Amino acid sequence: MDLQKQGKQAKRRADGRFAKGCSGNPAGRPPGLRNRAIRAVETLLDGEAENLTRKAVALALDGNPAALRLCLERLLPTRRDRPVPLSLPALRQAADVGEALDMITAALSAGEITPGEALALGRFVDALLNMGVLRWPRSP
């Protein structure tokens, strides 16, 4: 039974939105509850996972490109990050940042690293500088 039928009204703010922690459905969806479509598919496939896997592998071995892609995606998930083959100088003080950024730029120009990798490395160096890990040398 919803709140309006019970005569209760969910708390709303002046702009009409629900107040934080007070939704229109306080009971909400129970944790772990799956929708009907997924439950129906699970019922149909119950006990067939091994046969389906064997069939997909057989199709992949026969050269079916869709089955091959499916099998490879499961075996080798998409790689998000990779080690960057670049040796940066030791960053001991803020004065070392210029040399590090020059090396990053040179590696990008030479095609040794991607623009995304160069951006990530530059942000890393900048973060060290902003966190105060690197200090400017004191003047004599």
Q: How confident is the prediction along the chain (140 residues), in pLDDT tens digits per residue?
A: 444 445 455 677 788 887 776 766 767 777 777 788 888 888 888 888 888 889 999 999 999 999 999 888 888 777 777 777 788 888 888 788 888 999 999 999 999 888 989 999 999 888 888 887 777 666 55
For residues 125 and 33, what is the distance between their CA atoms, to the nearest angstrom? 45
For residues 102 and 47, what is the distance between their CA atoms, to the nearest angstrom? 59
pTM score, whole prediction: 0.44
